[in-house]
Amino acid sequence: EQKGEHRTLVEVKHAIDDLEAAWRLFQHLTQVDRTRTLTPRKLPYSTEKAGKHATFCKDNIVLAHEHLKHEELKQKAAEDLHQRQREVALAAERKRQADLQRQEQHRNELRMRRQAQAQ
């Protein structure tokens, strides 16, 4: 199992934020070479590699958004199930309370009849 298969929504959102920040950084690094006209020295990194990293980040941002959508759907389904279970439990409790109330009412009626017959 990979960690990505069990990420929470918060973890997925943080991962997307991190990927977007990395993508912006690598995009900037690829642009630096084009904007440099005054300093002809060589950059301490490869703009080609920075471009590849930017592409990697962008591709994974798309995948992460798909994963986020999937996780949101799973969470919504779990919340819906929990809500239905809660409604069923509440209905069962209301029925139980009504049954108890009917039983109590029936006992009271029997008691009243017995008292009336005893007099």
- Look at the chain and report how many structural domains it folds into: 1
**Confidence (pTM):** 0.61
pLDDT (0 to 100) of residue 80: 97
pLDDT tens, position by position, 2-19: 555 677 788 889 999 999
d(C-alpha 20, C-alpha 18), whole Å: 5
d(C-alpha 57, C-alpha 13), whole Å: 14
Structural domain boundaries, residue 107? 3-118
DSSP class of residue 4 equals: G
pLDDT (0 to 100) of residue 22: 97
pLDDT tens, position by position, 74-103: 999 999 999 999 999 999 999 999 999 999
2: left (phi over 0), alpha (psi -120 to 50) or beta: beta
pLDDT tens, position by position, 34-60: 666 555 667 778 888 999 999 999 999
Mean pLDDT over 62-75 rounds to: 91
